[in-house]
Amino acid sequence: MQNNAAKSALIEAGRWVSQKGWVPATGGNFSIKTETGFVVTASGYDKGHLASEHFLELNQQGEITAGSGKPSAETALHLKLYQLQPDTECVLHTHSVAATVLSRFIKGDTLSIQGYEMQKSLRGVRSHEDALKIAIFDNDQDIDRLAELVAQRHQSEPVVHGVLIRGHGLYAMGNSVAETRRHIEGLEFLFACELERIKLESAL
Ligand SMILES: CSCCC(=O)C(=O)COP(=O)(O)O
Ligand SMILES: [Zn+2]
């Protein structure tokens, strides 16, 4: 995608995720692959009110080629997801309540979801009977180290739709902006269902 089109698509995606309540305060960050690298949101802004000056252009090595301010503090994770899955065109990171709480509640390194028709909103999922597995990583302020853990895990369990960062949020990816948005929406629905199910079952 061309740089200006990428920024417009991310401004629109930001409005949408903000309206959903999935990027409170200055949480979240977004990127889209371009012909020369990728465009990423600048750090520290409200992602529901982005303008074209709130983006930086980076090359395929993650070096800044245009734009002012600081790129997202989590840029290294975006870069890593593009490197791991070359068909990824867009990465959207959100901080929803459901993703934040569920990733803390699950103590292991995987969220396993089964039994929901909405699993089929995710690329390649054909049945509610499939076990959908989303990798969970402990939060880390060292994003390079976190990105390296994601890369290691990808060798045995390829990251397809996204990953959860514990107590932090969701990184969703897709082969277009539309697919990444669909993956966020589908995953958020599933996270909310799982939280409700856990609460109901613990009340019994
Ligand atoms: C209060 S948000 C804390 C940082 C974070 O997790 C995030 O997603 C936003 O960071 P950025 O540098 O991309 O604005
Ligand atoms: Zn974040």
12-58 pLDDT, tens per residue? 999 999 999 999 999 999 999 999 999 999 999 999 999 999 999 99
Name which residue sits closest to atom 6 of ligand 1, judged by CA. 27
pLDDT above 70 as % of the chain: 100
What pTM did the predictor assign? Answer: 0.98
Question: Is there a binding annotation on residue 95?
Answer: yes
Pairing state between β 132-137 and 110-113: antiparallel
pLDDT at 102 over 90: yes
- Average pLDDT of span 77-89: 98
Asked if 35 and 2 touch (Cβ cutoff 8 Å), the reply is yes
Q: Which option is the CATH number for 3-203: 3.40.50.300, 3.40.50.720, 3.60.21.10, 3.40.225.10?
A: 3.40.225.10
Domain ranges of the chain: 3-203
Q: Given pLDDT bands bounded at 50, 70 and 90, which one contains residue 115? A: very high
Please choose from 72, 142, 165, 171 the residue to mutate so as to test ligand 1's pocket, defined by most ligand atoms within 8 A of CB: 72
Q: Is this prediction's ipTM beyond 0.85?
A: yes
- Chain-centroid distance of CA 107 in Å reads 20
Q: Ligand 1 pocket by C-beta < 6 Å: which residues?
A: 25-29, 41, 43-44, 72-74, 93
Distance 94 CA to ligand 1 centre (A): 9
Question: Is there a binding annotation on residue 161?
Answer: no
Q: What gap in Å lies between CA 1 and CA 6, rounded to an integer?
A: 6
pLDDT at 204 over 90: no
Give the ligand 1 atom nearest the CA of 70: 12
